[in-house]
Chains A and B, each alone.
Chain A
């Protein structure tokens, strides 16, 4: 299957700082990427849809000014958590569409964020 990477795999930061998470499709071009958040013992929650060259579409209840998404190329989307607080501590996962065949999303390994 197609490969999606995320960097960093885990990050610890101080409250009030910003953290950038990268999502890359390694062997295919992804016009659309998705960002999810997962709290312990819960399912994945979709945060936003990231389209190359246009503004992201955020799900209801997700603050667009706090979670900045940039999809500058067909292989890279970034999520920046601005002014992070302890309640933002979570597992952040991205996914990307593979261009071949029927629409199929492939997921990255996730980034674990801990805000102190």
Chain B
């Protein structure tokens, strides 16, 4: 079973920031938080990952709470092409790096 909890769906206005939450209260010390997204009929696309520090790249920012029990993925300026299913996954060497996908959050960016 997936070890994360995400809202099933969210809407966001184009040009605004999209904040996608994820709960992972049972995360262990050596597990990373990964975010992927899947646009319809394509393979998942890697977005970002982190261990305990906040991370930022050209796609998004990842904010991890100090107790590591939850995180938020931030798309700073959402576009229509960001409409996708977003998956938050915790994984580490303890489970041989396997990614177990939950149901994710369907983000709908609206004009």
Contact = CB atoms under 8 A, between A and B. Distances in A.
Given A46-B100, A49-B96, A93 B44 contact: yes
A109 B98 contact: no
A1 B46 contact: yes
Contacts of A32: 96-97
Contacts of B96: 32, 49
Nearest to B51: A102
Instruction: Give the dominant DSSP class at B's interface.
Output: loop
Nearest to A44: B101
Nearest to B36: A107
B41 A91 contact: yes
Interface in A1-53: 1, 4, 6, 32, 34, 36, 43-46, 49
Contacts of B103: 43
A75 interface: no
B68 interface: no
A64 B78 CA distance: 42
B10 interface: no
A34 B102 contact: no
A108 B49 contact: no
A6 B94 CA distance: 28
A103 B97 contact: yes
A107 B49 contact: no
A43 B99 contact: no
B102 A102 contact: no
B98 A107 contact: no
17 contacts: A1-B46, A6-B43, A32-B96, A43-B87, A43-B103, A45-B101, A46-B99, A46-B101, A102-B32, A102-B51, A103-B32, A105-B99, A107-B36, A107-B43, A107-B46, A108-B43, A110-B41
Interface of A: 1, 4, 6, 32, 34, 36, 43-46, 49, 91, 93, 95, 97, 102-110, 112
